[in-house]
Amino acid sequence: MSTSAFIVPIDPKAPSTAIPNVDIAKTWATVPRGEKVDVGTTSIFYDTPATKITAASSLGDNFSAKKGEVKRELVRKSVGSAVKALKVLNGLKEVTVDASADPHAAVLPAVAAHLALYDFSLKTNPPSPFNPNLKKPIPPKLEFKPIESSKEWDRGVAYAYSQNLARTLMELPANMMTPTAFCERAKAEFAGIENVEIFVRDEDWAASKGMNTFLSVTHGTNEPAKFLEIHYKGASQKDAQPIAFVGKGITFDSGGISLKPGEGMKLMRGDMGGAATVVSATLAIAKLKLPVNLVTVTPLTENLPGPSATKPGDIVYAMNGKSVEVDNTDAEGRLVLSDAIYYASTEYKPHTLIDVATLTGAIVIALGEIFTGVYSTSDELWEKLHTAGEQEFDRFWRMPLSEDYGPQIYSSNADLCNTGGRPGGSCTAALFLKAFAHGIEAEDGSNAETAMKWAHLDIAGTMDATRPTPYQEKGMTGRPVRALIEYVRGLAS
């Protein structure tokens, strides 16, 4: 068995001499679908040339006629399918990828190859590279390289590495991915990267800031809560106004006193997906040295029903002074985010703040696992996020952010209530968060030029994939890491 292979994405309707002495079109004409060869149809050829393996993967019928993001996604699917076919072969170590299917798309095969190779497991035979107790890292099963080195390929590797990191952080069980462990992993990932400072705050610091809604969620667990800050200064002016990312970091969500049903609760190890994605996106942004300033903050805690846990009906005062009634302790994400959003917006005065959270079951019902729901005060910000999402096929859908939902979360005993009932549940959650985004545009638009642009991304639906795609298996997705990186890259350019 050869130790090296070659991946060739091929338009089935176009003549190809990529594999000597092989008529690929004739080979594919024998597949059950006849002459229509679906994207990702892969054939493996041995001794082409001698001692080499070649995986020819279809780009789908009429590839040359496709445009824009559709064409880019076909390249990802083609390369991902080829990697899936190759990674089951024993002895294979190195794979060279032909990235010429799209002249500007070396980034696409790099992303697809590295995402398709990812396969999370903590089994001990063979040894798992995800074991947090490893003394030495286990090399990946396959090493990928392009025919010709390029910045686009390297960018694709950075995108995929960060998405895979987010997947790992979300997949690791809650006993291995505590708030403390999360911070230690973040520090290890950022070690040696230029222009980065990391601050790990504790509960006493949060109390000194008046972060009572955040701290109200910490009362049921003995696991110390953390508030992680990552500062990246890549702009030529180090004091230039930054972008801010805020990520929900509930490392395990039992629902607290308002306990969730037991079935499927283990999935709530991924309830820190917002924190995982913003930290991982920040890592790629810093690695790529994008010329922006970025502040990323993540409030990290478990939500458990301990003897001191917050109870339904309790009222706490948030950092911004508003009183909040806790109607349901399972609506904890907006409590930790409210203080974090207010802190980031007032302390660092960013021109744009994006928060990301596995926030509501309602968004799962509304959009499933295909689109991430976006709520924004800014048409401009929405358009840029939408463009970035389409570019990476990590797609967004804009949802209504209307004050007409307000009566559902206005409490008779406090300024706000942390739930508004089942109707429009994702919409009321977003409206709750809006009350803590300091400096956003006034209702009459009077401060539009100086206002902070804000968007809330509800990723509860896109957190987990229940069916595989050609370049991503079932499980935690790490979305929308690539879209966030692409958004910032678009700003920087």
Distances in Å between the Cα of 282 and the Cα atoms of 170, 175, 185, 355, 490 are 16, 25, 14, 13, 14
Sequence-ordered list of residues with C-beta below 8 angstroms from that of 136, at least 6 positions apart, any chain: none
Q: Is 376 exposed, middle or buried (0-12, 13-18, 19+ CB in 10 A)?
A: buried
> Number of C-alpha atoms within 13 angstroms, CB side, residue 331?
25
Catalytic residue among 87, 141, 209, 260: 260
> In angstroms, rounded to a whole number, what is the distance separating the alpha carbons of residues 327 and 414?
11
Quick check: 27 and 54 in contact, CB under 8 A? no
Say whether 260 is catalytic: yes
Catalytic residue among 167, 233, 287, 334: 334
Tokens of 408: 């559902």
Say whether 334 is catalytic: yes
Cβ count near 26 (within 10 Å) = 8
**Which residue shows structure tokens 């497991």?**
121
Helix (H) or strand (E) holding 82: helix 68-86
Sequence-ordered list of residues with C-beta below 8 angstroms from that of 114, at least 6 positions apart, any chain: 144, 156, 157, 160, 161, 164
Quick check: 364 and 462 in contact, CB under 8 A? no
What does the longest C-alpha to C-alpha distance in the chain come to? 79
Sequence-ordered list of residues with C-beta below 8 angstroms from that of 381, at least 6 positions apart, any chain: 352, 354, 453, 454, 455
- Residues taking part in catalysis: 260, 334
